[in-house]
Homo-oligomer: A and B are copies of this chain.
Amino acid sequence: MAINTRLTQKLNLEWPIISAPMAIAGGGKLAAEVTRGGGLGLIGGGYGDSEFIGQAFQDAGNSRVGIGFITWSLAKQPELLDQALEHSPDVVMLSFGDPSIFSQKIKQAGATLICQCQTIAQLSQALDAGADIVVAQGGEAGGHGGIRGTMNFVPEASDLLKTHSPDTLLLAAGGIGDGRGIAASLMLGADGVLIGSRYWASKEALVSNAFQKAALAASGDETLQTDIPDVARGLEWPTGNEIRVLKNRLMEEFHPRSKQLSHDELAELKAKYLSANPNDNAQEGGIIVGEVAGIIRDIPGAGVLTRRLGIETKIALSTAY
């Protein structure tokens, strides 16, 4: 049993599923498990930590994996791309920033280039940069994102590709947490999906178990887009994207006045935020998960999860109407 799309053909996968390169949460073990389950796992290159990247490729062992970077952050430490390419990743994904700076080097190294987009305007930029695969990411996604709804952004992106670049593949992202969402994505014209939050809630994700449990208990109504995690970490996002997290005490306290924090309040926010993850304090941390938290109810291993997602998709697609 498998699913056949242009994505599974291009990357030789069993299921049209790629795991999102989640900064901090997405290490090598998670990526390798997704690949073992029949998808393709991506390491989260994140904000550029050479040690993390080295460790992640080591943890992935001999497994096929890819890696993703935050483009504007990579531009500050371009040597991290060279480090990654030495491991011959199957794919390199770029998000949030101008991909044209790195696209040539990535393609010359033989890796498939994926560019993630939050607007139609960015899709054109990705095509100009020579993207092999583009991701249309809806704003319901966990972590940094835009404001388009996945449900209509994906078919609009598909139409644009059909007209201007029919050989470029399309992934749907944002709000996809089970086989229903994957099947829906295929209906909308995607060749596959990029899944973050559902893998964030897996055994191999580098996430506080208390954070995961808080997400499991939440409805999708209980998330918001905010700049609080970036303010706390001192990350200035030049692209202006906010980050979707679960509502908790920290967000209730600081989000409404994130632009007017005093020096002391900022110090308090930083201290709380940074200690929350190691202390398993779900009320004071940044629980970086999307609206899809509302349909996540367990913390499986990422390999068995990938296989389950594939089979659920197959079942959804085989329903007769």
Contacts and interface: CB of A to CB of B under 8 A. Distances in A.
Interface of A: 3-5, 119-121, 138-140, 148-153, 155-156, 158-159, 174-178, 180-181, 183-189, 219-221, 290-292, 294-295, 314, 316-317, 319-321
Contacts of A158: 180
A202 to B, nearest CB: 18
> What is the count of identical protomers in the complex?
2
A317 B291 CA distance: 26
Contacts of A153: 220, 291, 294
Given A155-B295, A156-B294, 19 more contacts: A3-B321, A4-B320, A4-B321, A5-B321, A120-B219, A139-B149, A140-B152, A148-B291, A149-B175, A151-B151, A151-B184, A152-B181, A152-B294, A152-B295, A155-B177, A156-B220, A159-B295, A186-B319, A314-B321
Nearest to A16: B321
A5 B321 CA distance: 6
A14 to B, nearest CB: 12
Nearest to A176: B151
A313 B193 CA distance: 21
Contacts of A119: 221
A125 B273 CA distance: 36
Nearest to A182: B187
Contact of A181 (B155, B175, B220, B291): B155
B321 A156 contact: no
B295 A156 contact: yes
Best-buried of A119, A138, A152, A189 by chain B (most CB within 10 Å) = A152
A121 B221 contact: yes
B188 A184 contact: yes
